[in-house]
Amino acid sequence: MSAQSRFIALSRQGRRAALVTVVRAPEDAAVTVGARLGVGVDGESEGTLGDPALDAAAVSEATEAMWAEHSELRDVQGVGLFFDVSAPPPRLIVFGAVDYAAALCRTARTSGWRSYVIDPRGRFATPERFPDADEVIAAWPAPAIERLGGIDRATYLAVLTHDPKLDDAALTTALDSEAPYIGAMGSRRAQAQRRERLLAAGIAEEQLERISAPIGLDIGAVGAEETALSIMAEVVAIRNDRAGGRLSTAKGRIHQVA
């Protein structure tokens, strides 16, 4: 299979991949303009750019570009390489089959995200209650996450449970991952109690700093729909490395560059 064919196949399967193409090269270089290298998220590659050292550097750069989800031209070892990136929509995993979760799944779908609901209580965790979720899993957090293939750098987590047992199990699983965002619902009193429980369970202080709580941006949200908007706004802001403030007072670019 050619590098381009591999890239097209992975893209059609909704998987993360990159196609690296030589677009500029010095006259004395061992590479040829138009040479291609296909790279999967696991680092496996197909094809060659004509130089083993350049191939290795391109695989490393391609992996970074895949997770940044930006197709762009880069200079690598004096050679101009274009990285064409394919990435599936980001995932939002919601712990807790509650009304807020249903509203959050609706907002996530509208925003082009994939959402998943996890709750061990089978009578609540049903597809009928969460029609906008890509999947509803009636299981405890750890086995449910395993079923979803783990948590990667494009997976964001929202803990909406109010049961300490579920809350702590979800956060313990979340903190043991590379998730870029972990948000948790609850009053400040509930947060303080949760913090004490997690510390007593052996979670390090610096790990707890990863939890965004109370979850969401401060927009004065009332009710499930506005709360979902608040949470989704914070998630998108984190994904785009933004503070989530008002655009009228922002500096620099208004919109994220695709």
Domain ranges of the chain: 3-86, 91-239
pLDDT digits (tens, 9 = 90+) for 169-179: 999 999 999 99
pTM to 2 decimal places:
0.86
H helix count then E strand count, the chain: 8, 11
For β-strands 114-118 and 91-95, DSSP reports them as parallel
Q: Is there a contact between 53 and 43 (Cβ–Cβ < 8 Å)?
A: no
pLDDT digits (tens, 9 = 90+) for 146-183: 999 999 999 999 999 888 999 999 999 999 999 999 99
pLDDT digits (tens, 9 = 90+) for 204-254: 999 999 999 999 999 999 999 999 999 999 999 999 988 888 777 766 665
H or E stretch at 23:
strand 17-24
pLDDT digits (tens, 9 = 90+) for 33-88: 999 999 988 888 889 999 999 999 999 999 999 998 889 999 999 999 999 999 99
Our CA angle for 63, 105, 102, nearest 5°, is 155
What per-residue confidence (pLDDT) applies to 112?
A: 96
Query: For the purposes of burial, counting CB atoms within 10 Å of the CB of 242, is it exposed (0-12), middle (13-18) or buried (19 or more)?
Result: middle
By C-alpha distance, which of 68, 67, 130 is closest to 98?
130
What per-residue confidence (pLDDT) applies to 254?
A: 56
DSSP state of 225: H
Question: What CATH number labels 91-239?
Answer: 3.40.50.720
H helices of the chain, in order, are: 3-12, 52-68, 99-110, 141-147, 164-175, 188-200, 205-208, 223-239
As beta bridge partners, residue 47 has: 37
